[in-house]
Amino acid sequence: MAKSRPKTKPPEHGMTSEETFDYLIAHSGIIGRQILRLAKGMLANNGARQKKKQGLAGFWQQKIRHSRRMVVRLFSQLVITFYTYYIGGSLTRRDQQTFARLKGLNGNAYQLTLYNALFCGLPTAAGYFLLGEGFSLLKNLHSLAELPSLIAHRASFGIGLASLLVDLFRLVDAAWNKRCWAPFGIFPLVINLPTYLKRLVAYVWSPNSTPPLSKAQTKKS
């Protein structure tokens, strides 16, 4: 007989927000966990305010460092925005909901899918189409390059078309139904495959192993 798998203790109402986040992150795959943990630390450090030094020395230090702080702050915001809507928007639905809670977008997790599809997915699809056109030009260079270029052209066009259709669906559904969807592509597959496999194994072992908080997240989102 197969040994029963120990169940993860479900979250209680008395759990702190820190424990709740740790519980949700633990149910992601190995890559998703690292992405969410990095987001947790990144967003926490970004929100922390440094204490201002008092006195004349503190005043001049603030003046000298003001321009440097502005540049660093701008760069930090760009990195966080990219990480949130490109990396975070490429995760699974449940991981996007967890990411949104870390970001403070409670009830607005769909924005990760919306902006990811609009500013990342659609340009990526256009890039595949342009790449396909580039391959189509190569076939005219030499007869030996005709067949490989034709195959690459068709493949690139097919991937671009699939990416375009998926991202148009994600864009419309996120705006209309406020739901999260993972995008189509190699990068989303790589980062989400461990999560999908982990959930599949958990479902086979115990069909009722879905994290209780995921239902609450779906309702808020």
**pLDDT truncated to tens, each residue of the chain (221 aa)?**
444 444 444 454 556 678 888 888 988 999 999 999 999 888 877 655 555 555 445 555 666 666 777 777 888 899 999 999 999 999 999 999 999 999 988 889 999 999 999 999 999 999 998 888 877 776 666 666 677 788 888 888 999 999 999 999 999 999 999 999 999 989 999 999 999 999 898 888 876 655 545 444 444 44
For residue 205, what pLDDT is reported? 84
The maximal CA–CA distance of the chain, rounded, in angstroms, is 77
- Residue 148 belongs to what domain range? 17-47+54-210
Helices (H) and strands (E) in the chain, counts: 9, 0
Contact (CB, 8 A) for 118 and 179: no
Is 166 within a domain? yes
For residue 193, what pLDDT is reported? 96
For residue 5, what pLDDT is reported? 44
Contact (CB, 8 A) for 43 and 76: no
Is 99 within a domain? yes
For residue 214, what pLDDT is reported? 47
- Closest C-alpha among 194, 189, 158 to residue 90: 189
Residue type, 215: K
Is 111 within a domain? yes
Is 5 within a domain? no
Is 219 within a domain? no
For residue 22, what pLDDT is reported? 87
Is 8 within a domain? no
Residue type, 195: T
Is 4 within a domain? no
* Domains: count for the chain: 1
Cα–Cα distances in angstroms (integers) from residue 112 to residues 65, 82, 115, in the given order: 34, 11, 6
Is 125 within a domain? yes
